[in-house]
Amino acid sequence: MPTITFWNTDGNATAGQISALAHDWNTDILILAENQVATATLLLALNRGQKRLFYADGGESDRLTILTRFRPGRSWLTRDSSGVAIRHIDFPIGMSMLVVAVHLSSKLWKKTEDQILASTRLARYIRQAEQSVGHTRTIVMGDLNMNPFEVGVVGSEGLHGVMDKEIAAEEARVVQGERCSFFYNPMWTVLGEGGARPLGTYYYRSSSEVNYYWNVFDQVLVRPSLIKLLSDDAIHVVTEIEGVPILTPHGIPDRANASDHLPLVCQLKEYPEQAYDIQ
Q: What is the pLDDT of residue 51?
A: 64
Residue 147 and residue 217 in contact, taking contact as beta carbons nearer than 8 Å:
yes
Report whether pLDDT(229) > 80.
Answer: yes
Compute the average pLDDT of residues 242-263: 97
Strands 240-241, 3-8: pairing kind: unpaired
Rounded to the nearest integer, the mean pLDDT of the chain is: 91
Report whether pLDDT(24) > 60.
Answer: yes
Distance CA 257, CA 116 (A): 32
pLDDT above 90 coverage of the chain, percent? 73
What CATH fold (topology level) applies to the domain 3-272? Deoxyribonuclease I; Chain A (3.60.10)
Which residues, at least 6 apart from 108, have a Cβ–Cβ distance to it below 8 Å?
A: none
Out of 47-61, 63-77, 154-168, pick the least confident: 47-61
Taking phi over 0 as left and psi of -120 to 50 as alpha, with beta for the rest, 145 belongs to: left
Q: How many residues does the chain have?
A: 279
| pLDDT tens-place string over residues 148-196 | 999 999 999 999 999 999 999 999 999 999 999 999 999 999 987 766 6
| pLDDT tens-place string over residues 101-139 | 999 988 777 889 999 999 999 999 999 999 999 999 999
Distance CA 130, CA 263 (A): 27
Q: What is the pLDDT of residue 271?
A: 59
Q: What is the pLDDT of residue 195?
A: 62
Q: What is the pLDDT of residue 29?
A: 94
Strands 172-175, 178-181: pairing kind: antiparallel
Task: State the maximum Cα–Cα separation within the chain, in Å, rounded to a whole number.
Answer: 56
The pTM of the full predicted model, rounded to 2 decimals, is: 0.93
Q: What is the pLDDT of residue 279?
A: 41
Residue 58 and residue 71 in contact, taking contact as beta carbons nearer than 8 Å:
no
Distance CA 15, CA 84 (A): 23
Q: What is the pLDDT of residue 277?
A: 40
Distance CA 4, CA 31 (A): 8
Q: What is the pLDDT of residue 194?
A: 65
Instruction: Tell me which amino acid residue 25 is.
Output: W
Q: What is the pLDDT of residue 191?
A: 86
* DSSP-assigned states of every residue in the chain: --EEEEEE-TTT--HHHHHHHHHHTT-SEEEEES--S-HHHHHHHHHTT-SSPPEE-----SSEEEEESSPTTSEEEEEEETTEEEEEEE-TTS-EEEEEEEEPPPTTT--HHHHHHHHHHHHHHHHHHHHHHT---EEEEEE-SS-TTSHHHHSTTTT-EES-HHHHTT-EEEETTEEEE-EE-GGGGGSSTTSPSPS-SEEE--SSS---EEE--EEEEE-GGGGGG--TT-EEE--EETTEE-B-TTSSB-TTTT-SB--EEEEPPPPPGGGTT--
- Whole-Å CA distances, 221 to 11, 106, 144, 199: 25, 19, 11, 18
